[in-house]
Amino acid sequence: MGIQLLVTGLALGSMYGLVALGYHITWATSRTMNFSQGQAVMAGAVVAYGLHVALGWPFLLTLLGTLVASALFGVVIERLAVRPFFRSASLAWLLATIACGTIAENVAMLTFGKDARAFPSALATRPVLIAGAGVYPQELLVPVVGLALMGGVQFFYHRTFYGKQLKAVAYNPEAAGLMGIHIPRAVMTAYALSAALAGAAGLLLAPLLNVAPTMGTIIGLKAFAVAIIGGLDSAGGILIAGFLYGLIESFVAGYVSTGAREIVGFAVVIAMLVVRPWGLGGARPTRRV
Amino acid sequence: MSLLDVGDLWVRHGQIEVLRGVSLAVGGEEIVAVIGPNGAGKTTLLRTLAGVLRPARGRITFAGREMTGRPSWEVVRAGVALVPEGRGIFADQTVRDNLMLGALSRRSFDALDAVLERFPALRVRLDTVAGALSGGQQQMLALARGLMARPRLLLLDEPSLGLAPKLVRETFDAVRRIREQGVAVLLVEQMGLQALEIADRGYVLERGRIVAEGPARDLASDRRVIAAYLGAPRSRPRDGGGSP
Amino acid sequence: MRFGQRLLWVLVGCIAATLSASDLAAQSTPVKIGLAAAMSGGSAASGEAIRRGLLIAIDEVNAKGGVLGGRKLELVVRDDEGNPTKGVTIARELVERERVAAVFGGLHSTVALAQVPVWHELKTPYVGAWAAATNITRNGHAPNYVFRVSGNDDYVDKFLVGYATERLRKAKPALLLENTPWGQSNEAGLTKWFADRGLKTVGVEKFNWNDPDMSPQLLRLRQQGADLVVLVANAPEGAQVVKSKAKTGWEVPVLSHWGISGGRFPELAGELSDGVVFFQTYSFFGSQNERGQYVLRVLREKFNVKGPEEVTAPVGTANAYDGMHLVAMAIEQAKATDGPKVRDALENLQGEYRGLIKTYRRPFTSEQHDALTDQDYLMVVWKGGKIVPVK
């Protein structure tokens, strides 16, 4: 049982981490967050279903289409729910992104239907045995791809020039603007990138979770918890927190009860906020004189 | 026609009027100083000219082109670079990255060699993280970064802030050399005396209004100006005077 | 005749004419029958299936002259959206505004339970065609206005336990249920009926809606030595259960409540759906009696349903069809559409109705308001995406 729980925990945890990274990216770049990240996960899965299952596209094209569609989702959210409130120093973007997420979910219910649909994958049909425990290859693939994507994002941010521009916007948006960086476009890119990550998570999880319009809501919530635990400003902290959260969930569900799973998970969030609000990887805020 | 023309500029911060009908001009190869007490609106003025703030009323023209209300990323592309108060360097990135980002608006990094010539202390520290530099070095970096944009007009906001006297002098020397290279400078300072020493012309800004203007030498010998603004240097150097 | 006498005869004539006209009017006004079910949303298919069953029966009755000397039956449909509050609203609307003689109910037990007080307050008989919660019909009211032609969880549990012990001969059953009131009530029922046979469940595990993986629960049941898993779940969770079971490599039979009869189950579970046994009140597969052939034919002609594999939510259609005929019989027997009279007639139905699901003789009594019991259910199994009766 332990192996099964470990694999499931790592798989789910890496997806929480991937989606949570999206919260970090938009927070760092614009001090706003996309509270429809969960629905971006669902959008990715729904688009992937449409392309791969309904239209019969080959997998690589489906992946491309999913990433593009998810990025577009992020751009739309940014335009509708964030940009109008970006400079107003209010928290209106919080409610606006939540509202957009709800709208997206309902649109999906109307078009995709309320029923869960299966996303067939050769990697989720026959289990393989690892030390006597059965796991689906898909469950092994997910954390690997998740780590690769997170690594890719880090590379982009620290090694490419455009990534450094986004870092500059995150560090000091006013100074970044003085360099000639187009701030609204940078924020839009951050939103597109973060939604694309969520969409990728949706595609990876679709064979394991089934595709349904409501699949993203709880994932978005848990990913937010992971972002808090890891530290909104720390990509590394979020990565670790994602895996930790997934493992805690899995082992609690396995050894205690599935009912306790959510309780323990969110209790950890509350504990973190009380004890170390800047998260695992965040820096204690210094008082500026 | 001047390089920079500012006409009747009004800027608000919430309900408070910070600038009230400010008019000034900067010529092609001169250093203009704007001095005045704390809270006069000097930083607001520069930030508005740089496109960070939008004026409520008034006109800004640069090289004959309309600049009023344009955002900062368009203003720097037009040739006006601001070195902000507090330097605004990206402390989490290297010196090299900071300089490269500075050249973004020019789309070419060929200013790098010339800039490193001017600031040799930076050349040996290209791969140092900017946050690890001393205060004086960070000031050099901020100036250098501003120059990477190859501006025709450089806006400097309190470049002496937090520097030991020796470094202040070196900074102002650098500013003079910048003017010699054909870049106009609009310099905002609380250290009024030293600013007027290197400037060609000056303006005195008080509570959002220009209350005096003229050749720098004249302002420096005006008794009222001396009494009000040209007192002893402030006593809060950030940097303990370590060498750059 | 003198003028006064002529006037009197004219008056009498007018009165007579008016009386007979209203009599005629009464004779040609339709008898309305209400349907309050989930017609939209995730369970819309069930509402539509019930509607079809009712319509087929209504058309049949009307073709033979209707009820009460020529009055046609007419169906009035309202959507409860799966929402108990909405269910109460439409219940009132159907009785007070539409003046229906009886109302048929849909899939959601929560809605049906919320409506129970309304039928008693407004004295209108209600016949459930799907929702299986035991307390819908066993609601403590007397006189009881709630009837049902469908599964009753208590009987279902008895039926499942009977199949497990007599057909499958299993002695170490385990329960795997959804963590909802439906799951809980079936947990109580199954435990009770297993105990009735001297058996204890070796383990009881729960899961939540949208749970992706039930391997921990299954592993624990396996460790506890279960030789059978009795499942109470809906299609998405049921699919995840069989997928998790395959992952753990545990070969154990699965016996299920009808939650997994939904069409998406074979799609979600793939070939793993094969072999999952569950109960139905009726199956359109296999040999059909006369009624079955008739209903299939009308489904084909009127609703474009080509064969049994295209009948969605078949139990709804079958239950509603038989229920409607029983209500029509009751109206005829009561010689009125008056609620209390129809209710009494239902409870004391004379004669025999050779129906679709079975032959009904005195289907309801004052103690028994479920027309179907475990004696009438049948066991079916998923095979290649089709539901086939178990031999």
* Pairing between β-strand B65-66 and β-strand B57-62 as defined by DSSP bridges: antiparallel
Between residues C158 and B224, the one the model is more confident about? C158
Nearest residue in A to C211, CA atom: A209
User: Does residue C46 belong to the interface with chain A, where contact is any CB pair within 8 Å?
Assistant: no
Q: Phi first, then psi: give them for residue C116, nearest 5 degrees.
A: -50, -45
**Torsion of the alpha carbons at C204, C210, C212 and C215, rounded to the nearest 10:** 0
Q: What is the CATH number of the domain that holds B71?
A: 3.40.50.300
CB A181 to CB B73 under 8 A? Answer: yes
Nearest residue in A to B86, CA atom: A175
Q: How confident is the model at residue C78 (pLDDT cuts 50, 70, 90)?
A: very high
Quote the DSSP letter at residue C271: G
CB C248 to CB A214 under 8 A? Answer: no
Q: Tell me the per-residue pLDDT of A5-53, one tens digit each, with 9 for 90 and over.
A: 888 889 889 999 999 999 999 988 888 889 999 999 999 999 999 999 8
Angle formed by the axes of helices A183-209 and A161-171, nearest 10°: 110
- CA distances from residue C95 to A81, A125, C31, C102 in whole angstroms, order as listed: 46, 52, 12, 8
Is residue B6 one of the residues assigned to a domain?
yes
**pLDDT at residue B155 greater than cutoff 80:** yes
Listed by number, the residues of chain A in 183-222 with a beta carbon closer than 8 Å to a beta carbon of chain B are 183
CB A172 to CB B92 under 8 A? Answer: no
Quote the DSSP letter at residue C299: H
Contact by Cβ (8 Å): C37, C47: yes
The pTM of the full predicted model, rounded to 2 decimals, is 0.80
Neighbours of chain C (3+ CB pairs under 8 A): A
Q: Do chains A and B touch (3 or more CB pairs under 8 A)?
A: yes
Is residue B192 one of the residues assigned to a domain?
yes
Q: Tell me the per-residue pLDDT of A61-106, one tens digit each, with 9 for 90 and over.
A: 999 999 999 999 999 999 988 888 776 667 888 899 999 999 999 9
Q: How many CB pairs under 8 A join A and C?
A: 76
Overall average pLDDT of the C355-361 stretch: 94
Q: Tell me the per-residue pLDDT of B120-149, one tens digit each, with 9 for 90 and over.
A: 889 999 999 999 998 888 988 999 999 999
User: Does residue A29 belong to the interface with chain B, where contact is any CB pair within 8 Å?
Assistant: no
- For residue A130, the distance in angstroms to the closest alpha carbon of chain C comes to 11
pLDDT score for B238: 45
Q: How confident is the model at residue A280 (pLDDT cuts 50, 70, 90)?
A: confident
Which range (A87-101, B193-207, C236-250) has the least confidence?
A: A87-101
- For residue A181, the distance in angstroms to the closest alpha carbon of chain B comes to 6
Q: Tell me the per-residue pLDDT of C295-340, one tens digit each, with 9 for 90 and over.
A: 999 999 999 999 888 888 899 999 999 999 999 999 999 999 999 9
Is residue B153 one of the residues assigned to a domain?
no
Is residue B125 one of the residues assigned to a domain?
no
SS (H, E, C) chain A: CHHHHHHHHHHHHHHHHHHHHHHHHHHHHHCCCCCCHHHHHHHHHHHHHHHHHHCCCCHHHHHHHHHHHHHHHHHHHHHHHHHHHCCCCCCHHHHHHHHHHHHHHHHHHHHCCCCCECCCCHHHCCCEEECCEEECHHHHHHHHHHHHHHHHHHHHHHHCHHHHHHHHHHHCHHHHHHCCCCHHHHHHHHHHHHHHHHHHHHHHHHHHHCECCCHHHHHHHHHHHHHHHHCCCCHHHHHHHHHHHHHHHHHHHHHCCHHHHHHHHHHHHHHHHHHCCCCCCCCCCCCCC
Q: Do chains A and C touch (3 or more CB pairs under 8 A)?
A: yes
Q: How confident is the model at residue B63 (pLDDT cuts 50, 70, 90)?
A: very high
- Over its C-alpha atoms, chain B yields an Rg (Å, rounded) of 17
Overall average pLDDT of the A171-190 stretch: 93
Is residue B135 one of the residues assigned to a domain?
no
Strand order in the sheet with B153-157: B80-83, B153-157, B184-189, B31-35, B201-206, B209-215
Q: How many domains does chain B have?
A: 1
Label residue C67 left, alpha or beta by phi (over 0 means left) and psi (-120 to 50 means alpha): beta
Of C206, C219, C268, the CB nearest to A258: C206
- The HSE-up count of residue B41 (CA atoms within 13 Å, CB side) is 26
Between residues C216 and C329, the one the model is more confident about? C329
Contacts of B88 in chain A (CB under 8 A): 172, 174-175, 178
Nearest residue in A to B81, CA atom: A178
Between residues C218 and B231, the one the model is more confident about? C218
- Structural domain for B227, as ranges: 1-43+58-79+186-232
Is residue B144 one of the residues assigned to a domain?
no
Nearest residue in C to A53, CA atom: C267
Is residue B143 one of the residues assigned to a domain?
no
**Torsion of the alpha carbons at B112, B115, B120 and B126, rounded to the nearest 10:** -40
Overall average pLDDT of the C243-258 stretch: 92
Q: How confident is the model at residue C20 (pLDDT cuts 50, 70, 90)?
A: low
Task: Quote the CA–CA distance of A231 and A278 in Å, as a whole number.
Answer: 5
pLDDT score for A125: 79
User: Does residue C41 belong to the interface with chain A, where contact is any CB pair within 8 Å?
Assistant: yes
Is residue B98 one of the residues assigned to a domain?
no
